[in-house]
Amino acid sequence: MALDAAAWDALLLSLRVASVAMFLSLPLALWIAWILARKEFRGKGLLSALVHLPLVLPPVVTGYLLLLAFGRNAPLGRLLESLGIGLAFHWTGAVLAAIIMGFPLMVRAMRLAIEAVDPKIEAAAATLGAPRVSVFARVTLPLILPGILAGAVMGFAKAMGEFGATITFVANIPGQTQTLPSAIWTALQVPGGENRALAMAALAGVVALVAVLVSEALARRVAKRISGAR
Amino acid sequence: MLEVALHHRFSGIDLDLEFDAGAGITALFGRSGAGKTTVISAVAGLLRPNEGRVVLDGKVLFDAKRGVWVPPHRRRLGYVFQDARLFPHLDVRKNLNFGARYAPRCSMGAGFDDVVGLLGLEALLARAPATLSGGEKQRVALGRALLSHPRMLLMDEPLASLDGPRKQEILPYLERLRDGDLRLPILYVSHAVDEVARLADRLVLLQDGQLKAQGALFDVMADPAAVPLLGVREAGAVLEADVIAHADDGLSTLAISAGQLELPGVQASVGARVRLRVLAQDVILSRDRPVGLSSVNVLPVRVEAVHPGDGPGAAIALRAGSDRLLARVTARAVQDLGLRDGVDCFAIIKATTVAPGSIGR
């Protein structure tokens, strides 16, 4: 089989980057989704556009903007570097790229779930004597939980497949920043590397398929749960 | 005792009213858009009016001037919404327990088994809300509110989303609530005169956000001035009668203070006390005792007030023994018969005018 140690390294790195990115962005994505679903304020359209921008921007542009902001010579990058959080050409940079690229998908899934919860149901809970925190914990959260999970899976899958922004921002250093897509791309650059590329592509395909299936199942559950037919 | 004073300006209408609601069922009646739901939402604390005051049993829940605002979850008012609003992710038992969970530990009130028995929920406990019919949902919502041990029950058109048979399914439970051990005061919003006539002890009439009348149900329903507010086809006195006998031909004999009535479709057993609703448009007046009529329900009455309407009709307030009746006749008939205060005449009530649904208790 054409899966060598470097390929497994790339897979493990991708899984690590995607998991860390997913857990880090979860609370912020939920908060932003809540704001977009429930609050009315000036600049709501702008916030929504900003969140969705990475979805339409060429990934290489996103990666370049990250490099401009967090590169070794950028003020923000230098500040983080001095705090011990090196981003440029480091796997943590790949996490940042994955967070930014996956964020719109996470927010979207969670926002839809929150919008599907009728605030009147929460008002009913309040009239029964439930304080605000209890209303969220006992009514809102159970209803949107499948949506949160679906969003997390989407974010994870997106992070697994992220290539353009990552390679632009943190390059393609084997064992450091070479994620699975980067490794596939590298294999394709080498004469006779097609077999390795194909094997890794199959691996990526399996991971993506599992993620989408999980996401679909969770989305079905949120729909059922909110309609109440369990 | 609930005391409400509200002044709230919002798109469409200005709300400006003061009323109170004591023991029993107080009906808040008005056409769609009269501001009923706004009033009940303000009482529950789901809406904060510009100005006003809401006091329950001496405890100030809201006072705009003093800046008092008790949030809805600390008001202990059981709110039964028109659309039930059950928690879709919880089964019926858990919905009911949600109400009980936040009831104060030492509070007096109905227990789980009492409420389940009262509302006939035994067979529904394991069901999901989405699988319930409209009437079943409302029963669960009512049970959930009762289990939160509220100091008062607020009901916002709980029957409006139900069809005729489903309404008949719920009404007996509401009557049980009114007449049973719980003795919970209820503020009942409705735009259906038949519901109000059947259930309420007190009536508050609302029109375009303004208070038009309030008082005991029997008084307001017999007030000729209330006819345009209730609708000329819906207006009519409500009186109480005792069931004396059921005849084989389907007619029942009922006693009221001024005499006896023969009515069909009375389901209550002999000895029971029932409410009758006599529509004003179904009362015919005659100066002489009529003979040879197809109707046997003729009562001697005295005219108490003549209230001309905007059109060709007039509303006549009548005294029948210790009861009151309301008749709607043409202004011409008022002229021809010489109807004025103090005139004695006879009221002919068609037996078919008392709908079976409006007899209960």
In sequence order, what DSSP letters do the residues of B289-319 get, joined into one string?
PP-S-S---EEEEEEEEEEE-SSSEEEEEEE
**Would A23 be classed as within a structural domain?**
yes
- Return the pLDDT at B14: 84
Contact B256, B321 (CB under 8 A): yes
**Would A230 be classed as within a structural domain?**
no
CB contact under 8 A, A121 and B87: yes
Segments in chain A below pLDDT 70: 1-2, 222, 225-230
Tell me which of A212-226, B206-220, B221-235 is least confident. Answer: A212-226
Phi, psi of A34 (to 5 degrees): -60, -45
Point out the residue among A127, A135, A230 whose CB comes nearest to the CB of B128. Answer: A230
User: Does B108 have pLDDT greater than 80?
Assistant: no
Residues of chain A with C-beta less than 8 angstroms from the C-beta of B187: none
Q: In terms of CA atoms, which chain B residue is nearest residue A229?
A: B130
Report the distance separating Cα A215 and Cα A221, nearest Å: 10
Residues of chain A with C-beta less than 8 angstroms from the C-beta of B99: 128
Structure tokens at B295: 């109707």
**Would A141 be classed as within a structural domain?**
yes
The whole-angstrom distance between A141's CA and the closest CA on chain B is 11
Tell me which of A12-16, A108-112, B127-131, B264-268 is least confident. Answer: B264-268
Report the distance separating Cα B57 and Cα B44, nearest Å: 14
- Burial group, residue B108, by CB count within 10 angstroms (0-12, 13-18, 19+): exposed
One-letter amino acid at B230 equals L
Q: What percent of chain B has pLDDT over 70?
A: 96
Point out the residue among A124, A138, A228 whose CB comes nearest to the CB of B128. Answer: A228
Task: Look at the block and give the residue holding tokens 């409302």.
Answer: B138
List of long-range contacts for B98-101, beta carbons under 8 Å, 24+ apart: B98/A125, B98/A128, B98/A130, B98/A138, B98/B144, B99/A128, B99/B143, B99/B144, B99/B145, B99/B146, B99/B147, B99/B148, B100/B147, B100/B148, B101/A129, B101/A130
Contact A77, A178 (CB under 8 A): no
Report the distance separating Cα A227 and Cα A220, nearest Å: 11
- Return the pLDDT at B93: 95
Among A121, A122, A127, which would you mutate to test the B interface (most chain B Cβ atoms within 10 Å of its Cβ)? A127
Structure tokens at B143: 């049970």
> Cβ of A230 under 8 Å from any chain B Cβ?
yes
**Would A220 be classed as within a structural domain?**
yes
User: Does B285 have pLDDT greater than 60?
Assistant: yes
Query: Which of the pair, B180 or B214, is modelled with greater confidence?
Result: B214
Helix (H, G, I), strand (E, B) or coil at B247: coil
Range of the domain at A97: 5-225
> Cβ of B313 under 8 Å from any chain A Cβ?
no
**Would A118 be classed as within a structural domain?**
yes
Which pLDDT band holds residue B357 (cuts at 50, 70, 90)?
very low
CB contact under 8 A, A120 and B102: no
Which pLDDT band holds residue B8 (cuts at 50, 70, 90)?
confident
Structure tokens at A92: 């943590």
CB contact under 8 A, B73 and A128: yes
Task: Look at the block and give the residue holding tokens 């879709």.
Answer: B88
- Burial group, residue A51, by CB count within 10 angstroms (0-12, 13-18, 19+): buried
CB contact under 8 A, A227 and B130: yes
CB contact under 8 A, A125 and B144: no
CB contact under 8 A, B98 and A127: no
Q: In terms of CA atoms, which chain A residue is nearest residue B44?
A: A127
User: Does B352 have pLDDT greater than 80?
Assistant: no
Range B241-250 average pLDDT: 88
**Would A158 be classed as within a structural domain?**
yes
Residues of chain A with C-beta less than 8 angstroms from the C-beta of B144: 128
One-letter amino acid at B169 equals E
Q: How many CA atoms lie within 13 A of A149 on its CB side?
A: 17
Helix (H, G, I), strand (E, B) or coil at B192: coil
* Spacing of C-alpha A219 from chain mean position: 17
Point out the residue among A132, A135, A228 whose CB comes nearest to the CB of B130. Answer: A228
Task: Look at the block and give the residue holding tokens 């679906």.
Answer: A150
> Cβ of B145 under 8 Å from any chain A Cβ?
yes
The whole-angstrom distance between A132's CA and the closest CA on chain B is 8
Contact A128, B95 (CB under 8 A): no
The pLDDT mean for chain B works out to: 87
Q: How many CA atoms lie within 13 A of A68 on its CB side?
A: 6
**Would A97 be classed as within a structural domain?**
yes
**Would A11 be classed as within a structural domain?**
yes
> Domain containing A160 — which CATH number?
1.10.3720.10
Report the distance separating Cα A93 and Cα B146, nearest Å: 56
> Cβ of B81 under 8 Å from any chain A Cβ?
yes
The whole-angstrom distance between B75's CA and the closest CA on chain A is 8
Q: What strand order describes the sheet that includes B298-308?
A: B283-286, B344-349, B298-308, B313-320, B323-330
The whole-angstrom distance between A127's CA and the closest CA on chain B is 5
Among B56, B61, B73, which would you mutate to test the A interface (most chain A Cβ atoms within 10 Å of its Cβ)? B73
CB contact under 8 A, B128 and A229: yes
In chain B, residues 272-291 whose CB comes closer than 8 Å to chain A: none
CB contact under 8 A, A130 and B89: no
Q: How far is CA B46 from CA B15, B111, B207, B216, in A?
A: 16, 27, 22, 28
Report the distance separating Cα A214 and Cα B264, nearest Å: 64
Query: What total of structural domains would you count in chain A?
Result: 1
Report the distance separating Cα A60 and Cα A89, nearest Å: 15
For the entire predicted model, the pTM comes to 0.81
- Return the pLDDT at A1: 52
CB contact under 8 A, A228 and B77: no
- Return the pLDDT at A227: 60
CB contact under 8 A, B72 and A125: no
- Return the pLDDT at B86: 95
- Return the pLDDT at B359: 44
Report the distance separating Cα B269 and Cα B243, nearest Å: 7
- Return the pLDDT at A125: 95
